[in-house]
Amino acid sequence: MDSEKIKKLVTAHLGFFRFSAKVYNHLVLKNRLHAKGVTLNHGVALIHGLKIYSSGTDNQIVLGDFVQLWDCALYLQGSHNRVSIGDFSNMNRVELCLDGDGNEFRVGEHTGLCGEAEMAAIEGTKIIIGDRCMLSKLLYFRTGDSHSVVDMEGKRINPSKDIVIGNHVWIGAKVTCLKGVRVPDNCIVAATTTLCGQYQQENTVIAGVPGKVVKTGVNWDQELLPIDRNKRAFNQGEENQAP
């Protein structure tokens, strides 16, 4: 059953499904869903091993329908912070820290964070990840330095900055994403890349340390599509005939 049919079924019996999900999630012993100063609202979400910690007030966590969270930890070390995960998205072994007041972590719909990611937003900044993205494991995203860099007069010169990942972006394993990064729609970030700065062109491959555009005019698909064998053989033949 595809996502549209599931949505129609759930919408027709929304109250029942949300109540059932709420009961189930609060019965899972590995979950720690109650924290002072935090409001958790979720739809028909599956939560297993989520631990919420808070040291502030007026913090909100909003999970859409058919969200799945596995062994995640949310640290809300301030007030007026917001976490929102869109419908049909999932996170596995993600450690998220919102340090200070007014930070935001937002994930769009149909996006997957596959595992072992560390995300931190500080000083009222945002980490925004778009729709239909695929993020591999061992990722490190941080909007600030947590320490001061000062000029010779003692003035701090390293402000924190938002991180924004567009729609339909594929990020490989062991990628580091530094403050102020912008990645446009339909891009591919190669494994072990260090993202820094703002990338402007869609449909590109970004790779290296620091990350640079290495290929343009590409897109990606979650399915492993078949390769045209005849075309591939022809190209290999040309390579073999080359001097």
The whole model's pTM is what? 0.88
- Residue 46 is predicted with a pLDDT of 93
**pLDDT of the residue at 2:** 67
pLDDT tens string 200-240: 999 999 999 999 999 999 999 999 999 876 665 555 555 55
First CA to last CA distance, the chain: 54
| Residues ≥6 apart with Cβ < 8 Å to 104 | 81, 82, 83, 84, 98, 121, 125, 126, 127, 128
Domain boundaries, the chain: 3-241
State mean pLDDT over 164-188: 98
- Per CATH, the number for 3-241 is 2.160.10.10
With a cut of 80, say whether residue 61 has pLDDT above it: yes
